[in-house]
Copies of this chain bind each other. A is one copy, B any other.
Amino acid sequence: MKRFHQTQEITFRQCDPAGIVFYPRYFEMMNDAIERFFRDIVGWPYRQMHGTDRRGVPAVSANMEFMMPARLGDWLDWQLSVDRLGRSSATFRLEAYLDETAVVSGCKTIVHTDLDRMKSLPWTAEVRSVLSDYCHAEGGE
């Protein structure tokens, strides 16, 4: 199983009056990480997905545990893998580390959707194959 790594610095706009990351900003980072995964690894950038192809990947659930506060200027190592791959859904696992210490860990489940009819669609073979490479285990829906 592969993992997709990205490093990102905590910026001023992500921090709250207590000087730590405002937690809804972590869900923005989660979104960014999956968006980059689709662009760089799956080879299906959101621009083409949403524009030309009229497909989307809306969230059906998202969760996070905040194990340690992260601060302005911390460099987080984000690791993305796929926890579960369904016929038209996928559950991504996102973990962020500061040095070797886990800062946040969470999951987001998305559904491959036809934006014009707002109905779920099976993954194409090409997308499915890439998601499988990053998947711990596979299963039906």
What number of copies of this chain does the assembly contain? 4
Docked-complex contact B28 and A24, CB < 8 angstroms: yes
CA A63 to CA B24, docked complex, whole Å: 11
B residues less than 8 Å from A73 (CB atoms): 45-48, 51
B residues less than 8 Å from A16 (CB atoms): 12-13, 15-17
Q: Which 7 A-B pairs have the closest CB atoms?
A: A47-B73, A63-B63, A24-B27, A15-B17, A61-B65, A23-B59, A24-B28
Using a CB–CB distance below 8 Å, which chain A residues touch chain B? 11-13, 15-20, 22-25, 27-28, 30-32, 35, 45-48, 50-51, 56, 58-66, 69, 71-73, 115, 118
15 contacts between A and B (CB under 8 A): A11-B32, A12-B50, A13-B28, A15-B16, A17-B50, A47-B71, A48-B73, A50-B72, A58-B66, A61-B65, A62-B64, A62-B66, A63-B63, A63-B64, A69-B118
